[in-house]
Amino acid sequence: MSELRELYQEIILEHNKTPRNFGKIETANRTQEGYNPLCGDHLHVHLYVNGDQIEEISFEGSGCAISKASASLMTAAIKGAPVAEALELFEHFHQMLTAEVDEPVDDERLGKMAIFAGVREFPMRVKCATLAWHTMKAAVLDGQDPVSTE
């Protein structure tokens, strides 16, 4: 049960219940679809990128608490951030989730996203946590095809 508490922390449950930046943004100039065919998590990430800056970001779709909270926290973390910073955070986040369970977590670099470290105990759920991030990355890099976690 302690591992479960670690996974379903208050912040995650709260973001699942009231996700930030949920919905469409009218000014979006990038939209990317992300899909996890194994479990059916499905979302769209909308971005307004101005020069090197992510000025606006939102997401919409359906998925589990982990995928939704991860998307919500991601949008909060990178709204207003330079593109390079968002991509860097993606790398740190991705590294954390794919590292061994006992690997120390670099809180300083990850900020709030560090609370997803508990997901490592549940390998089947790692893709839930990373879906929004992969989708954001593809949107920033202006991918055309829907992103799949497979």
Partner 1 sequence: MTALVERPAMDPSHSIDVEKIRRDFPVLNEKIRDKKLAYFDNGATTQKPLTVIYAVQRFYTTENANIHRGVHFLSQQATFAYERARGRIGQFLNARDNSEIVFVRGTTEAINLVAHSYGRPNVGEGDEIIISHIEHHSNIVPWQMLCEEKGAKLKVVPINEAGEFLFDEYEKLLSERTKIVAVTHASNALGTILPIKEITALAHKHGAVTVVDGAQGVPHLPVDMQDLDCDFYAFSGHKLFGPTGVGVLYGKKQLLDAMPPWEGGGSMIQRVSFEGTTYADPPTRFEAGTPNIAGGIGLEAAIDYVNSVGREAIAAYETELYDYAVEAIGEVPGLRLIGTAREKVAVLSFVLGDIHPHDIGTILDAEGVAVRAGHHCAQPTMQFYQVPATVRASLAFYNTRGEIDTLVKALHKVNEVFQ
Annotate each residue in 84-123 with x if it binds partner 1 (CB under 8 A) or - if it does not, as one string.
--------------------------------------x-
Task: Indicate the SS3 state at residue 60.
Answer: strand
* Residue 149 three-state SS: coil
Residue nearer to partner 1 on the CB measure, 9 or 53: 9
**Distance separating alpha carbons of residues 117 and 44, to the nearest angstrom:** 24
**Contact string 29-68 vs partner 1 (x = CB under 8 A):** ---------xxxxx-------------------xxxxx-x
Q: Which residues contact 37 (CB under 8 A, 6 or more apart)?
A: 148, 149, 150
Which parts of this chain interact with partner 1 (CB under 8 A)?
A: 1, 3-4, 7-8, 13, 38-42, 62-66, 68, 122, 124-125, 128
